[in-house]
Amino acid sequence: MNPVTFSTLACPDWDIETVIAKATEYGYDGIEWRGGPQGHIQPDISASKKALLKQGCSDAGLVSVAVTAYTSFVSNVAEERQANLDELLRYADLAAELGANYVRTFLGELPIGVSLDASVYEKISECLDAASDYANSVGVKIAVEPHDDFVRSSTIVPIFNQVQHPALSVIWDIGNVFAAGEDLKVGFELLKNHLAYVQVKDGKGRDPNWRLCPLGEGDVPLKHAFELLLAINYRGALSVEWEYAWHPELDVPEIALPASLRTVQELLAAAQTESA
């Protein structure tokens, strides 16, 4: 069975103890921990807080899927890229301390007037190659988040063509690629050999009219996506990304997270029946 987890983007007002308690109460298998100034964890959190998180998850039988580092590697200024690389390495250390498998990293938003060309990929690849080497040395992996100017799977492939490192992987965000207008099967075929884990969300419409909604109530063909994953015997996490921190008009986590878990389980079961 695939572990079903959720991102703490869903519950910005909960403390670490509450996140762990609610994950257990609702029946989740693990947690995707959001970092950054507004997240639950940062590299400089106290040793006692790190111990609380690691021991609390262990006692509850929960996995820490990943920690999120907010990074960018597209700047033309070498010092800025290095600062972001240093930040990613700090989060790799944090992930290792917490027993998380992955560090989720962003590539960045292109500066105005800069096009996505070979020089941009060279800058990104240089940083990710170094990050992957370091992550591997501490026992974790880098998971690229397709976002900003790198949502479509076709924009991610050149990185893996240049950085063929076992510690470099990618997240497949089903909702984001659908919103960007990408055909799920086409995008999946490009990324399937590099998957870290899968983020699950739903919404209606496509960019620029995309709007989030409860799982199973939108236009995203989630069951089809699960069928694609089952076809390659994918056993990684399915992580619910309920963007309540960014969209407070959405249902509160106490409503959304239990409902999302039920929907994922139902859709996964339906996909398994379809694939049998």
Q: To the nearest whole percent, how much of the chain has pLDDT over 90?
A: 95
* 166-188 pLDDT per residue, tens: 999 999 999 999 999 999 999 99
How far is residue 184 from each of residues 52, 200, 229, 231, measured CA to CA in Å?
39, 13, 11, 14
Class level of CATH domain 4-275? alpha beta
Name 120's Cβ contacts closer than 8 Å, sequence gap at least 6.
Answer: 74, 110, 114
Residue 276 pLDDT > 70, yes or no?
Answer: no
Average confidence (pLDDT) over 87-98: 98
Q: Can you tell me the distance from the alpha carbon of 68 to that of 2, in angstroms, rounded to the nearest whole number?
A: 21
Give the length of the chain.
276
Q: What is the DSSP letter of 155?
A: G
Q: To the nearest whole percent, how much of the chain has pLDDT over 70?
A: 100
Q: Can you tell me the distance from the alpha carbon of 262 to that of 260, in angstroms, rounded to the nearest whole number?
A: 5
Confidence bin at 131 (pLDDT 50/70/90): very high
Beta bridge partners of 30: 5, 63
pLDDT recorded at residue 114:
86
Average confidence (pLDDT) over 80-84: 98
What is the reported pTM? Answer: 0.96
Q: Map out the domains of the chain as residue ranges.
A: 4-275
Residue 195: closest CA among 126, 249, 150, 145: 145
> Do residues 10 and 257 lie in contact, with contact meaning Cβ atoms separated by under 8 Å?
yes
pLDDT recorded at residue 81:
97
- Three-state secondary-structure class, residue 188: helix
Average confidence (pLDDT) over 224-246: 97
